[in-house]
Structure formats: C-alpha cells, structure tokens
Amino acid sequence: MLNLWTHALVALLFGAMALAGLRGGGRDWPRWSFITAALLTALWALAVAGIDAHDIATRLAKTARDIAWLCFAAMLIRRERAGNRAIAMLYAVTIGVVAATAVVSLAMTGPLAPATMAAADAVRQMLIALASLAALMLLCHLAQNVRHDGRWMALALVGSWSIDLIVATVALIAGEWPAWLGVVRGGVMLAVGSGIAVAAQRRGAGGPTLSRTAAIRLIGVAVGGCYLALTALAADRAGGLDPAYARPVQIAIVLGATVALLTLASTPWLRAWMRVKLAKHLFAHRYDYRVEWQRFAATLGRPTDGEPLPRRLVKALADLTDSPAGLLLCRDDDQLVPLAHWAWPGTGEPVADPALAGRLAGGHIVALDEERRAGTLPSWLRVAHDAWVMVPLIHGDLLTGAIVLARPPIDRQLDWEDLDLLRVAGRQAASYLAENRAQAALADAARFEEFNRRFAFLLHDIKNVASQLTLVARNAERHADNPAFRVDMIETLRDGAGRMTALLGRLGQLDMGRAESVQPVDVTALVHRLAAARRATGPIVVEATAALALAAPGRLEQAIGHLVQNAAEAGGVLPVRVVVGQGEKVTIDVIDEGVGMSAEFVRDKLFRPFASTKPIGFGIGAYEARQLIRAMNGTLDVDSREGAGTRFRIVLPLAPALEAAA
C-alpha cells in the first residue's frame, strides 16, 4: 500500500510540474525536454502504482524516463556551451546503454528457460547499474558547468539515479530486490521531485555548489560500489559450481578483487591519471582554483618540522602540478645559482645563460622539453630529462630567481591554465622570498645595531683612558718634581698604554683599513712575515714560490690574517698550511684539517655577517676577507667537508712584468 501511495504522489508531483511547464512561456529546447521528462516520469510512477514495477510496460516507461532526463541534461549543457566531444560521446553511450535495457526487457517477454531468464535479468540489472553510474558522472559535470537552476536540478536528479544504482546492485546480489526497497525508491523520487520543483521556481536565484572534490569523491564512491557489485555478482554465480569448488572460488574472487581494488587505489600514477582525465572531460577548468590556492597558502604559511621557506616555496609550486620534485634557483648577478630543493636528485649547478635569463625576466614560463630539443639548455639541465618546466619568480619588475619543476606522473603539454596558474603562483612565491630576505636584512641590521652598541662601549673606554691621561698631563705641570708622583705617573701611563693597546687590538679586528692603491705585492714575503708574527698563536707551515700579485698590501695581509685565524681555531691537529702559487694568476691557499663545514653552511651562511660555527664567534672574518679581496679585483672560494677540513683559496691578478720590474 505504501508503495502505491508514494508512487501515486510522485506521479501527481511530476504531472503538476509538466502542466506548469506547459503554461509557461518560451519555446527553447531545454523547456520542452523538461516537460517531456516530467510527463514520462509521471507515467512511469503511475505504472508502478497501478500495474507492477516488474511489468514490461513499467520497464519501458522507466527507459523512456531515463532517456528523457539525459536529453534534458544534454540540452542544459548545450545551452551553457560547456560540453565537448568527449561529453557528447558519454551522453550518447549512456543513452545507448539505457536503450539496451529496454531491448533486454523485450527479449525477456518471450519463452525462455529459467536459467536463460535469470541470466538475462542479471544482464539487464548490470546495464541499469552501468547506466546509473555514467549518469551520475554526467550530473557531476552538469552541476559544475550550468547556472543555478540547472545545478539544483542536477543535484536533485542525483537521488534518482543513486536509488536506481542501489536497486540494481541489490538485484544483482540477491537475485531480486525486496518490496520495502520499492517504498524507499518512491520516497526518494518524492524528494527528487520536490528538489526539481524548487529548482524550477528558483530560476536566476542562487543555488548550491558542488565542489570538485565532492564530485570526484562521489564518482569514486559510485565506481567503487559498481566494482563491489560486480564482485558480489561473480561470487554469487560461483556459488552455482560444484560444492567442492564453489567456496574456494568465491574466496579467491573476493580476495583477488579486494587486493586489486586496494592496489589500484594506492597507485599514485593511476590517481594522477584519473584526476587529469576527470578534469579534462568533466569540468570546465583543469584546476579547482580555490582549493589549490588554499593548499598553496597553507604550505607557505605552516612550516613542517622547521622546514625553511625556500624549500616550502618549491613544494608549494610542485603541488600545483603534481610534480614530484623541484629546485629553486636564486639570481646572483648574471646567473641563477641553486638555493634550495625539494626531493630533487642532487643540488643542480649554476645557470649562466643570458638568453634564458632574459626570457625568464620577461615573465615567460620555459617548457624545458622544447629548449632541450633546441639544445639551448645548460649541460646539467639537458641531461636531467625529468626537468619539465622553469617558472620565473618576478618581484615587481625584477627577476629574483626561478623554480625548476620535475615532470608529473602523467606527462602532458602545458596549456593556458597551467601557464596562468604558475605565473601567478611564481609572483606570489617571489613576494614571499623577497619578504624573507627583507626580514633577514632587518635581522642583520639589528645585529649591526648591536655591533654599534659594542663600539659605543669601546669608545667609552677610550674616553676614560684619554681623560686619565689628560689628568696626568695636567698634574705633571705642578708635581713633576715629586718622586712619588713620577712613580704613580709611570704606573698610570703603563696601565693606560696597556688598555689602549688592548682596545686598538679589538678595533683592528673590525677595521676595513684605510684606502690603499693596488700595486705589485711580493705575496711570498708577505705570507712569511705574517707567519712569523703569529707564531705565538700556533705553527704555520708556508709553502710558497716567488709570486707578485696586484693587490693592496695592508688589505691583503688583513684578509689572509682573518683566514689564518679561522683555520687556527678550526680544531685541527696538524698545523695550518699557507700555499702560494703563480700561474696565469696568483693563488693563495689557507688549508686546515679541522672540523670543516657543511655544504649548506658554506652556501647559505659562511659569507654572511654574524654567521659562525663557533659558539662565541661574530662571523665577521670570512665576510670581511671576501669584501677585501673583491675590492682588489680578486675572488675568494672555499672547499670544505665536515670532518675533513677546509681550504680557502684567494685568486689575485698577476702583476704585469713591467710593473713587477719597477
């Protein structure tokens, strides 16, 4: 009785909607397809209430109803111009599967053997399940790409095909579906009709939204349910085998299907392939921009396990395109040097390519496959076949760096959505990187402020010594003949001289020295003199050939002194070695076999002020040494390994023969 009343109410509701549609104006195809679908749904509901759900007329009415609603959905997609060839093919195939159910139903009206009848009914239920699954996928696409009224109707129709999928699955497993499920279907169709009626009254009004994530999960659940239904059907059919083999075969089917499902669900390549295909064929855009941007901001804003910002920048951009790795290159003068990486094999090499840097500075995203075929890439990028795309980091109008992204699991060509999203994300990443550098500069400024405060203390001590000496000089005019005063004066002068010497020593460690002209310098003699002056601090082994370099003597001695002092404090057992050589240029190597430094420290901190491996060090020595060497048109390089020691190499221009002779 409940089944009769619920389906009668469904017929009344859909019939009223069809009459309301006939009264309305307009002659567009979606309106007439809606009226047709509503009338056929009312006829189907009357057939279920008045005849029987299993009667051939009811089954044919259901087929006509489903085809009409599919045509209505196709008309909405056509109206919004949101379809493509793949969507049109899916609609055609789905309508064909629905029509096939009617063919099987007509075939079942003939005289068939019981076994053949059961097999035909199983085929029909399977076709209904497949058609319902395809219809749900099409409704997800419809809800993503139409206006609000169509979106309401799409979400309402989800209930219709969902209950059809459930009924078909139960019939496949149990051989028939119980009477109470018919009552449930009538209630669901009442809810579907109410939703469609609300949508028809809310034309132009705001409607619900179906997120991309929810749509994909809904499709996943539907596919999983269909897979499980087919597994249950196979296991049920296996039950008809010989009793000695039926149970093992059923167990093998269930276990094999479960393992296969878990394996497929946990395969990254398959998940990536499904996302690409669904985005391409079911959605108007490749990316769900709201979700992608939220994930991008979350990756940058919430460090995981103290992960530094440059590494998070790489990961955030790689996540946008499902890239498994990335490398951040930072601009340094006219080249791009590696700064950080995420899951990248190796650390990369500097990129010195003015043409490539010019394209990046113009905001162009470089597809590396095309550049690789043209042979215009640096050697390490040319052989790194997983390198897929290079994204410029533009802050304002300046190129601050670039991020190289690895090839995603599903290789594809970059399209306009990829380019637009990566370009915007690159600018956002560049702003984060610039802000991080600004904060580092502020921190350095704060450290310099602390340094200035220490200078103020030194000046205060100098003022005290100067005041003391002034007082002595003033009193000497009156008490110079007093022997006791002369003793006190000598002691005071000795104390003041000692304090001034100590203060001058402290200041000398931080003084860049007065300006000196560059001239030929006997580097060998300078190094021997420096070693002799520092014998009290530890032995220094000098291995030098005659070498004349263009340098400022005072600055060169100060720079080598900083490096020798650092080497002496490195904790090595063997003495510090200073090796001087002369070829096309003069080289000075300061070598120790101490604790060494990590590659990350050398790259990121060694030549920055206030960064030191010593607990009480200021980190000024290496920084000042490089500044002094650069002022003489030289270079300072370092090669260090943890536990194996460090070699600093100064390279200076060779003094011309005429100047050396002079």
Note the pLDDT of residue 24. Answer: 60
Which burial class, exposed, middle or buried, applies to 374 when counting CB atoms under 10 A from its CB (0-12, 13-18, 19+)? exposed
- Nearest CA to 506 among 445, 552, 451? 451
Which of the two residues, 333 and 139, has the higher pLDDT score?
A: 139
Which of the two residues, 256 and 222, has the higher pLDDT score?
A: 256
pTM over 0.75: no
| Whole-number Å distance between alpha carbons of 541 and 590 | 10
- Dihedral sign (CA 128, 283, 388, 220): negative
Note the pLDDT of residue 286. Answer: 66
Q: Please give the average per-residue pLDDT across 572-577, as a whole number.
A: 74
Query: What do you get for the CA distance between the two ends of the chain, in Å?
Result: 121
Instruction: Return the CA Rg of the chain.
Output: 41
Q: In what order do the strands lie in the sheet with 398-406?
A: 335-342, 326-332, 398-406, 387-395, 366-367
Q: Please give the average per-residue pLDDT across 587-614, as a whole number.
A: 80
Note the pLDDT of residue 587. Answer: 92
Tens digit of pLDDT for each residue in 494-508? 767 776 776 666 555
Which of the two residues, 18 and 406, has the higher pLDDT score?
A: 406
| Whole-number Å distance between alpha carbons of 240 and 178 | 22
Which phi and psi (to 5°) does residue 399 adopt? -80, 115
Tens digit of pLDDT for each residue in 348-386? 666 666 777 777 888 888 888 888 888 777 777 777 888
Note the pLDDT of residue 289. Answer: 72
Which of the two residues, 321 and 464, has the higher pLDDT score?
A: 321
CA distances from 590 to 376, 544, 596, 626 (A): 39, 12, 13, 14
Q: Please give the average per-residue pLDDT across 248-275, as a whole number.
A: 74
| Whole-number Å distance between alpha carbons of 52 and 61 | 12
Tens digit of pLDDT for each residue in 108-138? 887 878 878 888 888 888 888 888 888 888 8
Pairing of strands 366-367, 335-342: unpaired
Which of the two residues, 52 and 304, has the higher pLDDT score?
A: 52
| Whole-number Å distance between alpha carbons of 630 and 26 | 81
Please report which confidence band the pLDDT of residue 649 belongs to, taking 50, 70 and 90 as the band edges.
very high
- When the pLDDT of each residue in the chain is averaged and rounded to a whole number, the result is 78
- Nearest CA to 592 among 622, 619, 572? 572
Q: SS3 breakdown of the chain: % helix, strand, coil, rounded to 5?
A: 65, 10, 25
Which of the two residues, 150 and 46, has the higher pLDDT score?
A: 46
Q: Please give the average per-residue pLDDT across 581-586, as a whole number.
A: 87
Pairing of strands 540-544, 576-582: parallel
Tens digit of pLDDT for each residue in 519-564? 899 999 998 888 876 654 456 888 988 889 999 988 898 888 888 8
Q: Please give the average per-residue pLDDT across 610-630, as a whole number.
A: 71
Note the pLDDT of residue 513. Answer: 42
Amino acid identity of 59? R
Question: What is the CB neighbour count within 10 angstroms for residue 423?
Answer: 16
Q: At what angle do helices 56-80 and 29-50 cross, to 10 degrees?
A: 160
Tens digit of pLDDT for each residue in 83-101? 678 788 888 999 999 999 9
| Whole-number Å distance between alpha carbons of 291 and 214 | 12
| Whole-number Å distance between alpha carbons of 70 and 97 | 12
Q: Please give the average per-residue pLDDT across 325-330, as a whole number.
A: 89
Q: Please give the average per-residue pLDDT across 443-447, as a whole number.
A: 78
Q: Do residues 348 and 368 make contact, with C-beta atoms less than 8 angstroms apart? A: no
Question: What residues are paired with 392 via a beta bridge?
Answer: 402
Question: How many residues does this entry show for the chain?
Answer: 662
CA distances from 34 to 153, 196, 208, 225, 333 (A): 10, 10, 20, 29, 66
| Whole-number Å distance between alpha carbons of 279 and 273 | 10
Tell whether the model's pLDDT for residue 460 goes beyond 60: no
- Nearest CA to 628 among 554, 574, 568? 554
Buried b (16+ CB within 10 A) or exposed e, 330-347: bbeeebbbbbbbbebeee
Q: Look at the block and give the residue holding tokens 């450290």.
A: 447
Please report which confidence band the pLDDT of residue 463 belongs to, taking 50, 70 and 90 as the band edges.
low
Pairing of strands 645-653, 585-592: antiparallel
Note the pLDDT of residue 364. Answer: 86
